[in-house]
Chains A and B, each alone.
Chain A
Amino acid sequence: MTTSFPLARATGRAKPRRARWSRLLDPGEATLGALLLAPAAILLAVVIGYPVCKLIYTSFLDLSLTSGVPARFAGLANFQQMIEDPVFWQAAWNTILIALITVPGALIVGLALALLANLPFQMRWPARLSLLVPWALPLSFAGLIFAWFFHSEYGVVNDVLQRFGLSGIIWFNSSRLAFAAICLTIIWKTSSFMALIILAGLQTIPRSLYEAADVDGAGLVRKFLLITLPLLKPTIVVALIFRTITALQTFDIPYMMTGGGPGTSTVTLAMYIHQNTVSFLDLGYGSALAVVMFILSMAVTALYLRMIRGSEAVE
């Protein structure tokens, strides 16, 4: 403002070219930021952005690679088919049921494991290792191993039942028992992750709080309910929501244990998408199924972001 007009005009004319060159050699904050974030953005655009658009588009197409008919617009036909498809409803119900059973299940088991692992051991690594190995074990391996555990004749589960004088159970012939075996396996596999997260949360609780409670004469149960649980709440909420989202994607364990059987009684949404896409090559219908699952997941994620923001506001 204080500089005289002609001077400003003169430098104003000369500057752009020089600024462009110096920006290339020593970029400003915004340009540098864009450059550094670009590879991540490109990778995300190629693997998620473009495919999501394509997914939504394909879900309105009649596109089956086996029919030999070229793709054509089908409106809401795929979604109409879905509403009338009993296997879809079965798969959706199974997926939701798996989340409803295994998420609280993994929380309870994980909390118990974390409390045990938090005891004052002289050596920390055996407890840690016993939580890390199940976490790192591939889901598909866990499915295979537990299919063998629940084997009706040679499985170790029935062996233990029989040693206690109970009769062995034929797990995979009944839809309910097969479903139960799957849920038990998922709880075993995922409780270790819960426990690791909760254990880290436990270790941030100051000891002085427990010492003060001791002075007040509080017992174990009260200390747990009044100190441990409230302070763990943010950790537990984060772990629960991530677990819920992965539960909606359940594929490996039922695929390995039952292949969806008996009948279609243990099919999940992810398995049904895979079946329609890779086996039947019905890409239109598979996409419509995926859109439904995508919406389900995004709803949970939105809830998650709101809760994260809520807890940040409290801090």
Chain B
Amino acid sequence: MTTDAISRAGSLLSGKPLRVLAALILIINGLFPALWILLTSFKTEAELTLKPITWLPRTPTLQNYVQAFSDQPLLTFLFNSFMVALLSTALTLLVSVLAAYALARLNLRFRGLIMSLIIAVSTFPLVTLLVPLFETMRALDLLNTWTALIMPYAVLSLPVCILVLTSFFESIPRDLENAAMIDGCTRIGALFRVVVPLSAPGIFTAGILAFVNAWDEFLLALSFNSNPALRTLPVGIQLYQGEFAFPWPVISAALVVGIVPIAVLIVIFQGRVVSGLTAGGVKG
């Protein structure tokens, strides 16, 4: 009787209705918050205070988006976030390509130790550096500049990128480099002319992880940049709330504007992101 019940449960699990239910649970769990914000962004302020609350906007309006861009310099926040994320990604990629090549190809004496160190750095709490980095940036007169964020963000992603790229470089046959070197390439030349182009997928993966890390960071951006013209999106978005007022539809519109770029990136590169997470899976 019990085996019968279990096998029935088993066939139920492979059945189509259950798969549909599973897909629904996954999608509602993962996408409902973003969907709810999207719906809210089309509602009027008056509609939000209706009880019971309405789920779909009754008189959809784009006014919140107009206000999101006019109440605060949302375009500037977007631009700052984009540039800081892009530049720190470029820096971390350049540095980690070199380091990963050394770790993948050279006979280094302390390879194991260096790898352990990289893993240890990947768990490093950047929060604890708030004080000394704040002081250092103040002394260097870098507070309220992109540089104050680009350098720590590059370090934030350095371990993941090195781990992802090392495993990628190891998968590329050495013969290809050797052939290039026989044809007169130097070792560094072979790295940039042969290994890097062949590793484009791995470099993309590492780059997306670095970009998402930088795009999401909040604490350092909040602490180091108080100049409104240099705020990144996560910091800028809290400025919409007044001392007493909380204009939710406008905030929702601003959030949608902030979510769309990262969502587009994820949709395009979903396979790469997953493989990157598992190759260097280090960020919660």
Contact = CB atoms under 8 A, between A and B. Distances in A.
Interface of A: 26, 29-30, 32-33, 36-37, 39-40, 43-44, 46-48, 50-52, 54-55, 58, 113, 116-117, 119-121, 125-142, 144-146, 148-149, 153-154, 156, 159, 162-163, 188, 190, 192-193, 196-197, 200, 217, 219-221, 238-239, 241-243, 245-249, 251-252, 255-256, 269-270, 273-274, 277-278, 283, 286-287, 290-291, 293-294, 297, 300-301, 304-305, 308
A309 to B, nearest CB: 8
B67 to A, nearest CB: 17
A246 B283 contact: yes
Nearest to B219: A251
A51 B98 contact: no
A277 B131 contact: yes
A168 B145 CA distance: 45
Interface in B181-213: 186-187, 212
B54 to A, nearest CB: 10
Nearest to B14: A120
B40 interface: yes
Contact of A119 (B13, B124, B187, B212): B13
Chain B contact residues: helix, strand, loop or mixed: helix
Contact of B258 (A138, A274, A300, A308): A138
A238 B196 CA distance: 29
Interface in B53-93: 53, 91
B255 A55 contact: no
Given A136-B266, A242-B284, A220 B10 contact: yes
Closest 4 CB pairs of A and B: A130-B30, A51-B132, A219-B6, A246-B284
Given A43-B158, A308-B119, A248 B94 contact: no
Contacts of A252: 218-219, 234
B13 A220 contact: yes
Nearest to A125: B270
Contact of A140 (B99, B134, B218): B218
B180 interface: no
B29 A113 contact: yes
Contact of B23 (A126, A162, A249): A126
Contacts of B103: 37
Given A29-B106, A127-B26, A47 B31 contact: no
Contacts of B109: 30
A300 B103 CA distance: 26
B248 A190 contact: no
B131 A286 contact: yes
B53 to A, nearest CB: 5
A138 B234 contact: yes
A269 B106 CA distance: 42
Contacts of A54: 132, 135-136
30 contacts: A26-B186, A32-B102, A36-B99, A40-B95, A47-B155, A50-B132, A54-B132, A55-B128, A121-B19, A126-B26, A129-B266, A133-B30, A133-B266, A139-B216, A148-B251, A188-B33, A219-B9, A220-B13, A238-B281, A242-B281, A245-B125, A245-B284, A251-B218, A252-B218, A269-B127, A273-B130, A274-B223, A278-B130, A286-B130, A297-B125
